Amino acid sequence: MGMSYRRYLNGIRIYGCSNCKTHLATIDSMISRAFHGQHGRAYLFDEVVNVIEGEPNDRVMTTGNHTVRDIYCCKCGRTLGWKYDRAYEQSQKYKEGKFILERNLLADVQ
Amino acid sequence: MRLTEPDQESGKSVQIDTVPEAGPSSLAGSANGYNGTASKHNGYATSYTNGTSKTTPGDATRGGRPEKHATSITQVSLPGSTLYDDSYVDREEFVRLVIQSLRDVGYIESAATLEAESGYTMESPEVAEFRRCILDADWVRADAALMRLGVADDERLWEAKFLISQQKYLELLEANKITAALHVLRNELAPMNVDSDSLHALSSLMMCSNPEDLRQRAGWDGASGHSRRRLLGDLQRYIPSSVMIPQRRFATLLDQARAYQQSLCLYHNAPMNSRTFSLYTDHLCDKDAFPRVTTAILEVHTDEVWNLEWSHSGNYLASASKDKTAIIWRVEHDKDPSIRDISPKFILRDHPYPVGCVAWSHDDSILLTAAEHHIKLWNTRTGLCVRSLEVHTDVVTALAWLPDGSGFISGGLDRKIIHWDADGKQRDSWGQSPIRVTDLTVTPDFTRLVAVGMYDAPANVPGPAAAASENGNQSGVGGSSENRVIVYDLVTKQPQSFIPVDGELTSVEVSDDSRYVLINRTPEGGAPCEIHLWDLELDRVARRYTGHKQSRHVIRSCFGGVVGSFVASGSEDATVYIWHRDTGILLEALTGHGAGSVNSVAWNPRNEGMFASCSDDKTIRIWEAPPVDLATASLDAAEHRREAHEADGKGKGKSRERWDGPLAAGTSYGLGSSSSSTLI
């Protein structure tokens, strides 16, 4: 795979991994705050960096059936949320390719 | 061995000026061929083809020689003024240089003979007098002699006189003759109207406590050193070179010829000596002596190997791996590959994260490793970790020892550049750099630090890289982050210049002459994949190297070869690329590593015919010239081996089996050979 450095973001507000402060996403790419994860509130982002994606699996959520992958911090390995590969409900299609980060696992970073 | 009285008398009749250093020459003369010279005196008169008469020493009739010698040399008159009919070389110039060369090496008699025979003199008695005065510190007469040497104008004459007085002043100071020195300063140097700065600098030398201090501060090596000769060289500028020939002029011209031949020698990797640069033929290095086959594969790391560095002794290689270890390998670089022992001397564990860089101290006693934000100091004799430094708050990407070995500088993605002493005590922090440092290097002349790095990606540009192509680690905000090279002044720690380079910069290496830096970058927006050779003096790209692949990973390059005339780089296509530095011509594309990136290459500092590469395939390869017996083996067989090797996919396991076998060395040399991919 080769050696690569983590990406660093630039913006008014940068969200990082609460454990190791790795940059993950900025407020500019946030789509919605109205999501829920295992640890309470969660945010939907258009774009997330420095995460490793797990294997896809199907999950039944309150908004229907989805194919998702868990995402992990590339530095410390903590599970941060998931990524939507596929939404089966037509109304939920907008989530495909987007990311969920759980608010309680995030910290503001520089 | 001494010349007898009559000889010296005869000498007077032909010698234009008697040089004090005649001693060794007369010894040489009598030892090799003086008799021969005497015996061919007839030849001199009739023919000017020197060196044809190889008469035995016995032929010389000792008794009658001196008289004959003195009388027999008649001037040969030749038509025209050039060396050959169709030559543009002026005969007088040529002969005078020959005379100078003969004198320089001590063939004083031959020089005198040539002067007599050709009618040209190396220099007038005035020049000889001037030279003698300078070398003997006869300053009064030197001044007088200078007046007769045709210095173009008064201004120049004063400048030349200033140089002489300056030498005189320094020598007096050195001899602790303060009063006399002061006299020179006041009455000779001060009235000459030089700029006040240099006069001030000279007068401040009065304060020197002892001769050693004086020599140090004046940058001058003393009366008994080379300073008088150097003064002569400096004075040369003021005297027409046809009057006083620049010192060692012939050698200078030969040096230029050598430099020219070397510039045409693409595979140049031979040390400079009389064997590799014979005057009889044009120099050309043997392409077969180029390191282009794998002579060893080092397989101990259990994950990707990311970085490499040779110890200064050339005997050890340090490797950094994703497997959270660094390994110090013992490599007997001066032994034949078939009997050489390469083994891990120490496996440096206890890194909490993958190891990204390694750096040897100047005496090779300490190895630094960096893993994420940790820096560790290891004792290379015991293999024990001496200190762990955790001042950086983000990945430490670069470790560079200072040229004097007094300490090192680390750089990181936290924008910090930190100066440590050799024990790992923090000396100084440079404050926040505008870039997140991805690599840095200190120039060997101790004046500059060159850092490369990245600015933060603007967040609102969603990039296509988000596609989960490779576990998503790189799924980045793929916007065009502005990247920069910053050249810092090492003394003031302030940026001297910013160099705009597109793409993500992943490595920087400085040339031995401190003038050029080699910068690897991942291209952006369809830009070609290039390594840049940046000229720090002229602030421009001096050369670009292309052919390798770098799109997303940290790939490093290095200078290599006996005069740093090669540029080698890793590549994402499992290949090592080597270019001719001055022309940018791709010399070699060496295959052999398994799938993935070749992450770094490192040229052995003591063995110009050896380098190492490390790869995602978890191995390190040592590359050298093919052994002589194999180089002559049939190409077909080598090609066949290579194909067989490639056919087994990664090829790694196979190669190891071959290497472990008793006949391994003999059979596996062809492995990394790139007979088909040499591109010139």
d(CA B412, CA B399): 9
First to last CA, chain A: 28
Name the domain count of chain B.
2
On whether any CB of chain A is under 8 Å from the CB of B454, the answer is yes
Mark which residues 49-68 of A lie under 8 Å from B by CB.
Answer: 49-53
Q: Is B614 in the A-facing interface, judged by CB distances under 8 Å? A: no
pLDDT for the residue B71: 57
pLDDT band at B172 (very low <50, low <70, confident <90, very high): very high
Residue A3 scores a pLDDT above 80:
yes
**How big is the A-B interface in CB pairs under 8 Å?**
98
Q: How many residues in total does chain A contain?
A: 110
Cα gap B354→B348, rounded to integer Å: 12
B83 located within any domain: no
Q: How far is B600 from chain A (nearest CA, A)?
A: 10
Lowest mean pLDDT among A33-37, B18-22, B295-299: B18-22
Chain B residues touching residue A6 (CB < 8 angstroms): 395, 413
Query: What b/e readout covers B188-220, taking b as 16+ CB neighbours within 10 angstroms?
Result: bbeeeeeeeeebeebbebeebeeeeebbeebeb
Residue B124 tokens, joined: 């007038």
Q: Which of the two residues, B438 and B467, has the higher pLDDT score?
A: B438
Backbone angles phi, psi at B16, to 5 degrees: -75, -45
Do the domain assignments include residue A2? Answer: no
CB contacts of B477 in chain A (<8 Å) are: 7, 9, 29, 47, 49
Do B232 and B301 share a domain, yes or no? no
Q: Which residue has the tokens 């040779």?
A: B310
Per the domain annotation, does B586 fall within a domain? yes
The alpha carbon of residue A85 is apart from the nearest alpha carbon of chain B, in Å, by 10
Tell me the residue type at A2.
G
What b/e string do you get for B146-172 counting C-beta neighbours within 10 Å, with b at 16 or more?
A: beebebeeeeeeebbbbbbbbbbbbbb
Q: What is the pLDDT of residue B373?
A: 93
Closest-CA residue in chain A for B555? A3
Partner-chain contact A9 B306, CB within 8 Å:
no
What integer is the mean pLDDT of B555-579? 95
B541 within domain boundaries: yes
* B169 plus B304 within the same structural domain: no
How far is the alpha carbon of A106 from chain B, nearest alpha carbon, in Å?
A: 17
Q: Stretch B441-458: mean pLDDT, rounded?
A: 89
DSSP code per residue over B55-111: --GGG--TTTHHHHHHHH--PPP-SSSBSSTT--SBHHHHHHHHHHHHHHHT-HHHH
Q: From chain A, pick out residues whose CB is under 8 angstroms from the CB of B321.
A: none
pLDDT at B524 exceeding the cut of 80: no
CB contacts, 8 Å: B397 with chain A: 5
For B658-672, write each residue's pLDDT tens digit.
Answer: 333 333 333 333 333
Choose among A3, A10, A52: nearest Cβ to B458: A10
B306 touches A: beta carbon within 8 Å: yes
- Residue by residue, DSSP assigns B497-563 as EEEE--SEEEEEEE-TTSSEEEEEEE--TT---EEEEEETTTTEEEEEEESS--SSS---EEEESTT
Report the Cα B620 to chain-centroid distance in Å.
27
Q: Of B585, B609, B629, which marks where a domain is finished?
A: B629
Q: What domain range includes position B301?
A: 287-457+482-629
Residues A26, B460: C-beta atoms closer than 8 Å: yes
A90/chain B closest Cα distance in angstroms: 22
**Is A10 close to B455, i.e. CB distance below 8 A?**
yes
CATH of the domain at B297: 2.130.10.10
B435 & B579 share domain: yes
What is the spatial distance between Cα A45 and Cα B111, in angstroms, rounded to a whole number?
88
CA distance B238 to chain A (A): 58
Q: Which of B54-68, B80-94, B401-415, B488-502 has the lowest mean pLDDT?
A: B54-68
Chain B interface includes A9 (CB < 8 A): yes
Q: Which two tokens stand for residue B418?
A: 């930190």
Binary contact (B616, A71; C-beta < 8 A): no
> Number of folded domains in chain A?
1
Q: Give the count of alpha carbons within 13 A of B61, CB side only.
A: 7
- Give the gap in angstroms from C-alpha B641 to the nearest C-alpha of chain A: 28
Task: Give the burial string for B286-324 (b: 16+ CB within 10 Å, else e).
Answer: ebebbbbbbbbbbbbbeebbbbbbbbbebbbbbbbbbbb
**Alpha helices, H only, B175-220:** 178-184, 196-204, 211-218
Q: Best interface-test mutation with A: which of B413, B416, B460, B520 has the largest number of A CBs within 10 A?
A: B460
Bridge partners, B92 (sequence order): none
| Listed residues B192, B221, B247: the one ending a domain | B247
**Which of the residue ranges A30-39, B501-510, B533-542, B641-650 would you say has the lowest mean pLDDT?**
B641-650
Q: Give the other-Cβ count within 10 Å of B111's Cβ.
A: 25
Do the Cβ atoms of B552 and B522 come closer than 8 Å?
Answer: yes
Q: Tell me if A6 and B463 make a contact (CB, 8 A cut-off).
A: no
Q: What's phi and psi for A73, nearest 5 deg?
A: -65, 135
Q: What is the phi/psi pair of residue B88, to 5°?
A: -100, -5
Distance from CA of A77 to the nearest CA of B (A): 11
ipTM surpassing 0.95, yes or no? no
A4/B470 CB distance under 8 A:
no
**Maximum alpha-carbon separation in chain B:** 102
pLDDT per residue as tens digits for the range B18-67: 444 433 333 333 333 333 333 333 333 333 334 333 333 433 333 333 34
Residue B580 counted as domain residue: yes
Q: How far apart are CA B554 and CA B600, in angstroms?
A: 9
The two structure tokens encoding residue B335: 């032994």
Q: Is A76 on the interface with B (CB under 8 A)?
A: no
- Are B112 and B16 a contacting pair, CB within 8 Å? yes
On whether residue B508 sits in a domain, the answer given is yes
Q: Looking at the complex, does the CB of residue A11 fall below 8 Å from at least one CB of chain B?
A: yes
Q: Is residue A41 part of a domain?
A: yes
Amino acid at site B306 = W
Residue B202 falls inside a structural domain: yes
**Residue B599 and residue A48: Cβ atoms within 8 Å?**
no
Choose the closest CB to A2 out of B457, B463, B553: B553
| Alpha carbon of residue B20 to chain centroid | 36
Tell whether B314 and B390 lie within a shared domain.
yes
Cβ <8 Å between A52 and B472: yes
Phi and psi of B83, rounded to 5°? Answer: -65, -50
- Residues B341 and B439 both lie in one domain: yes
**Does residue A69 register a pLDDT over 70?**
yes
Residue B322: both structure tokens together? 């994703």
pLDDT for B29 equals: 36
**Residue whose pair of structure tokens reads 């989960």 in the numeric block:** B468
List chain B residues with CB under 8 Å of A25: 459
Cβ within 8 Å, pair A4-B462: no
Closest approach of B555 to chain A, Cα-based (Å): 8
Chain B within 8 Å of A1 (Cβ-Cβ)?
Answer: yes
Residue of chain A minimizing CA distance to B372:
A75
Strand segments, DSSP code E, in B311-447 are 316-321, 326-331, 342-348, 355-360, 366-371, 374-379, 385-389, 396-401, 407-412, 416-421, 426-432, 436-442
Tokens of B464: 């296509």
| Token duo for residue B132 | 């003698």
Residue B630 pLDDT: 53
pTM, full prediction:
0.74
Establish if A24 touches chain B: CB-CB under 8 angstroms.
no
Look at B304 and A2 and tell me if their CB atoms are within 8 Å: yes
CATH number at residue A24: 2.170.150.20
Tell me, yes or no, whether B230 and B339 share the same domain.
no
Q: Does B457 touch chain A (CB under 8 A)?
A: yes
The residue among B410, B488, B401, B412 whose CA lies nearest residue B444 is B401
Q: Calculate the average pLDDT of chain B.
A: 80
Q: Tokens 């007068």 belong to which residue?
A: B203
Q: What would the mean pLDDT of B259-279 be, rounded to a whole number?
A: 88
| CB proximity A110 to B under 8 Å | no
Instruction: State the pLDDT at residue B675.
Output: 33
Residue A60 structural domain: 14-108
Chain A residue with minimal CA distance to B552?
A4
Out of B397, B477, B555, the one facing A7 most closely (by C-beta) is B477
Distances (CA, A) of A8 to A14, B192, B497: 9, 62, 24
- Asked if B197 and B299 sit in the same domain, the reply is no
Percent helix, strand and coil across chain B, each to the nearest 5 = 30, 25, 45
| E strand or H helix that includes residue A72 | strand A64-73
Q: For residue B217, is it within any domain?
A: yes
As a whole number, mean pLDDT of residues B142-168 equals: 86
Q: Is the pLDDT of residue B569 over 70?
A: yes
Q: Do A53 and B471 touch (CB under 8 A)?
A: yes
Domain termination residue (choose one: B603, B629, B655): B629
pLDDT over 70, % of chain A: 100
B582 in Cβ contact with B566 (< 8 Å): no
Cα distance from A74 to chain B (closest Cα, Å)? 6
A52·B471 Cβ contact <8 A: yes
Using the Cβ of B211 and the Cβ atoms of chain A, whether some distance falls under 8 Å is answered with no
Instruction: Note whether B476 contacts A: Cβ–Cβ < 8 A.
Output: yes
Nearest Cβ partner of B470 from A1, A3, A25?
A1
Residues B319 and B398 in one domain: yes
The answer to whether B133 and B47 are in contact (CB under 8 A) is no
Which tens digits make up the pLDDT trace of B617-631?
A: 999 999 999 987 654
In angstroms and rounded to an integer, the radius of gyration of the C-alpha atoms of chain B is 32
Which among B460, B476, B599 has CB closest to A2? B599
Element (H, E) at B673: none
Enumerate residues 6+ apart whose C-beta is below 8 A from B42: B72
Kindly report which listed range (A26-30, A45-49, B73-77, B153-157) carries the lowest average pLDDT score: B153-157
Residue of A nearest to B354 (CA): A3
The enclosing H or E element of B659 equals helix B652-660
* Whether A1 and B395 lie within 8 Å, measured CB to CB: no
Nearest to A8 among B457, B472, B553 (CB): B457
How far B624 CA sits from the closest chain A CA (Å)?
25
Q: Are residues B295 and B231 in the same domain?
A: no
Q: Which among B515, B601, B521, B588 has a CA at the least distance from the CA of B559? A: B601
List, for residues A11-25, the tens digit of each pLDDT value.
889 999 999 889 999
Cα–Cα distances in Å, from B386 out to A2, B100, B347, B377? 29, 60, 15, 5
Please list every residue in chain B whose beta carbon sits closer than 8 Å to the beta carbon of residue A48: 475
Cα–chain-centroid distance for residue B110? 37
